[in-house]
């Protein structure tokens, strides 16, 4: 009997091991298929499920490293896999030296990146396209080294799980009062096709906090890709880049109806969408000028930025290339025109980009666009940086970036530019005796008062002391922070009021507020 039990146990163990091996082999097969289809995001997840079993396989290691380079996860993770594959006897991967160079580049080891790029160059004769790519890569290493050495004084705040997901969340746009956000996300997964679907999501800011992101509409988010690429001044119109069988790489738009819901996406017009590719777009605050990117023939490089003027019938006119110095022989994309219409933000793989797309700024001076300026590190980094959306005072912005402390791929971050002063909020009004229904001026009782403001963020130290006028008029200017306002006078009961001012774009700078004191 014991022998039979032992035999059954052995058989069960063998079956489990066989099933496990078969399952892992199946996952590896799926990973290889997705890799060959350039579906690197799904392939990477599948390879990582089986890497322990195939940890000594150079091909699997190489493909894991290559997938990291091709996705928006931590690209530096590619390095150990690529180095292992490169060191394995008998293995040969055509581009591995250049792949290793890129992994070092993402690790900010620019000297090592150059070293491996030169190794790749010296292994065999390269064609003109490869030589151009290598030259540009080494130029970006130089740009990155210079920009990283002079970092901007900024603070990044991850918007957390209410907005971000384990997948890519990117290209955020906000209304200039910082209360409404539109962004794109690849959080939807299609099991049948083993693909992440990109869609448009929104969030509202309530009491200083961004609320749980929601799909913008089932009329916009379908089983085909759609990405937000721009909004108008109040968010009632959204511009989207769609990649559909019926509309590959075109710009569509959606407007809110009277009930506040977004309508189905519509083609923005034949003068904008061509037989070629269109991507980013931005509409002026006046609503009569559209900036967009396209790789149509006749441009300066790959994707160029164009502009179009709205015609009297509401359609968009024939577009004009923005020309140099904005456009280059490389790609320019995701234009964003500010409210006053004289500052253009856009992304570019040209100019002095430090890696892939960087965000640049150009100002309109005497009817000409000035030489673009790189926004600098760490707004830009060695990854693709697509856009920045700014509040009206430009102290606050929103970007997407990859950090090891993030939730997954690209996350949406709020940026505070610490060199731009905080906006003071001015409280003004009269100090009165009584209440809002029945009151008298303080000079009818006792006009001798002292107003003190304490900084709660600094152990309640006195921030300022004020004296109201004889008629009780007062004016106090406070920067963002947590404050206690106290008023004392011999004839009155002590008055205390907590004031919280968030470090954000203020909806109103001047706050009229009367204060009512009680007599002793």
143 and 353 in contact (C-beta within 8 Å)?
yes
pLDDT digit string, tens, across residues 99-128: 999 999 999 999 999 999 999 888 777 888
348 and 361 in contact (C-beta within 8 Å)?
no
pLDDT at 20 over 70: no
| Distance between CA atoms of residues 256 and 264, nearest Å | 10
Q: How confident is the model at residue 140 (pLDDT cuts 50, 70, 90)?
A: very high
Domain match, 131 and 171 both = no
| Distance between CA atoms of residues 242 and 219, nearest Å | 13
Q: Is 162 left (phi over 0), alpha (psi -120 to 50) or beta?
A: alpha
Q: Give me the phi and psi of 79, to 5 degrees please.
A: -60, -55
What average pLDDT is seen over the chain? Answer: 91
Count of positions (residues) in the chain = 520
Task: For residue 215, give the 3-state DSSP assignment.
Answer: strand
**Averaged pLDDT, 138-154:** 96
Domain match, 413 and 320 both = yes
DSSP-assigned letter for residue 466: E
Which residues, 6 or more positions from 57, have their beta carbon under 8 angstroms from its beta carbon? none
Domain match, 181 and 124 both = no
Domain match, 247 and 296 both = yes
pLDDT at 90 over 90: no
Q: What residues form DSSP beta bridges with 439?
A: 434
End position of a domain, from candidates 95, 129, 148: 148
CATH number at residue 270: 2.120.10.30
Q: Which pLDDT value is given to residue 10?
A: 45
Radius of gyration of the chain (CA): 29
Q: pTM value?
A: 0.87
Q: Which pLDDT value is given to residue 470?
A: 87
Question: How many structural domains is the chain composed of?
Answer: 3
- CB neighbour class for 410 (10 Å; exposed up to 12, middle 13-18, buried from 19): buried
pLDDT at 266 over 80: yes
Domain match, 126 and 186 both = no
b/e code 25-64 from CB counts within 10 Å (16+ = b) = eebbebbbebbeeebbbbbbbbbbebbeebeebbebbbbb
Domain match, 196 and 116 both = no
Domain match, 137 and 189 both = no
Q: Give me the phi and psi of 75, to 5 degrees please.
A: -65, -25
End position of a domain, from candidates 401, 417, 433: 417
Domain match, 61 and 162 both = no
pLDDT at 508 over 70: yes
Per DSSP, the residues of 129-157 read HHHHHHHHHHHHHHHHHHHHTS---EEEE
pLDDT digit string, tens, across residues 270-311: 999 999 999 999 999 999 999 999 999 999 999 999 999 999
End position of a domain, from candidates 114, 148, 182: 148
Domain match, 91 and 161 both = no
| Distance between CA atoms of residues 108 and 105, nearest Å | 5
Domain match, 277 and 222 both = yes
pLDDT digit string, tens, across residues 396-451: 999 999 988 889 889 999 999 999 999 999 999 999 999 999 999 998 998 889 99
410 and 170 in contact (C-beta within 8 Å)?
yes
| Distance between CA atoms of residues 360 and 372, nearest Å | 6
pLDDT at 335 over 90: yes
Domain match, 22 and 121 both = yes
C-alpha closest to that of 330 among 301, 359, 294, 361:
301
Domain match, 300 and 181 both = yes
| Distance between CA atoms of residues 189 and 167, nearest Å | 10
| Helical packing angle, 2-36 and 40-50, nearest 10° | 150
**Averaged pLDDT, 334-343:** 94
> Between 17 and 205, whose confidence is greater?
205
Alpha carbon separation from 223 to 41, 186, 196 (Å, rounded): 18, 12, 10
Q: Which pLDDT value is given to residue 411?
A: 96
Domain coverage including residue 483 = 425-517
| Distance between CA atoms of residues 368 and 361, nearest Å | 13
CATH number at residue 15: 1.25.40.10
Q: Which pLDDT value is given to residue 4?
A: 38
CATH number at residue 461: 2.60.40.10
């Amino acid at each position: 009997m014991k022998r039979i039990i032992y035999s059954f146990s052995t058989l069960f163990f063998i079956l489990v091991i066989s099933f496990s091996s078969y399952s892992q082999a199946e996952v590896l097969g799926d990973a290889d298929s997705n890799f060959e289809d350039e579906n690197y995001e799904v392939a990477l997840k599948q390879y990582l499920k089986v890497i322990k079993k195939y940890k000594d396989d150079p091909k699997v290691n190489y493909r894991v490293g290559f997938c990291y380079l091709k996705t928006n996860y931590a690209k530096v993770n590619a390095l150990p896999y690529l180095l292992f594959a490169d060191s394995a006897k008998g293995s040969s991967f055509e581009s591995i030296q250049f792949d290793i160079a890129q992994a070092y580049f993402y690790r900010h080891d620019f000297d090592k990146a150059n070293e491996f790029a030169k190794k790749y160059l010296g292994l065999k004769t390269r064609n003109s396209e490869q030589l151009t790519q290598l030259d540009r890569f080494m130029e970006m290493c130089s740009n990155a080294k210079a920009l990283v050495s002079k970092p901007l004084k900024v603070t990044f705040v991850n918007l957390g799980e209410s907005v971000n997901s384990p997948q890519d969340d990117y290209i955020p746009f906000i209304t200039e009062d910082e209360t409404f956000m539109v962004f794109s996300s690849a959080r939807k997964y299609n099991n049948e096709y083993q693909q992440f679907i990109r869609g448009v999501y929104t969030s509202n800011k309530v009491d200083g906090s961004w609320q749980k992101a929601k799909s913008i509409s089932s009329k916009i988010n379908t089983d085909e890709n759609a990405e937000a690429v721009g909004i108008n001044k109040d968010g009632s119109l959204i511009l989207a880049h769609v990649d559909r069988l019926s509309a590959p790489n075109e710009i569509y738009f959606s407007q809110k109806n009277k009930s506040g819901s977004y309508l189905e996406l519509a083609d923005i017009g034949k003068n904008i969408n061509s037989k070629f590719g269109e991507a980013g777009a931005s509409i002026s605050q006046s609503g009569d000028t559209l900036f967009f990117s396209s790789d149509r023939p006749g441009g300066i490089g790959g994707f160029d930025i164009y502009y179009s003027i709205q015609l009297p019938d509401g359609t968009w006119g024939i577009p004009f290339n923005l020309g140099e110095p904005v456009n280059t022989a490389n790609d320019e994309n995701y234009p964003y025109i500010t409210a006053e219409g004289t500052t253009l933000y856009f992304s570019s793989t040209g100019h002095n980009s430090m890696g892939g797309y960087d965000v640049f700024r150009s100002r309109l001076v005497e009817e000409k666009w000035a030489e673009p300026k790189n926004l600098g590190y760490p707004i830009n980094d060695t990854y693709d940086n697509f856009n920045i959306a700014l509040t009206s005072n430009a102290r606050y912005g929103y970007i997407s970036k990859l950090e090891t402390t993030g939730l997954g791929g690209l996350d949406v971050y709020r940026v505070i530019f610490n060199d731009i002063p905080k906006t003071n909020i001015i409280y003004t009004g009269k100090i009165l005796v009584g209440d809002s229904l029945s009151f008298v001026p303080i000079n009818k009782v006792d006009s001798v008062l002292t107003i003190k403001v304490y900084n709660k963020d600094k152990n309640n130290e006195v921030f300022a002391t004020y004296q109201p006028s004889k008629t009780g008029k007062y004016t106090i200017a406070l920067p963002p922070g947590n404050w206690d306002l106290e008023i004392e006078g011999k004839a009155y009961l002590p008055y205390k009021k907590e004031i919280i001012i968030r470090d954000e774009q203020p909806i109103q700078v001047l706050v009229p507020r009367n204060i009512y004191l009680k007599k002793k």
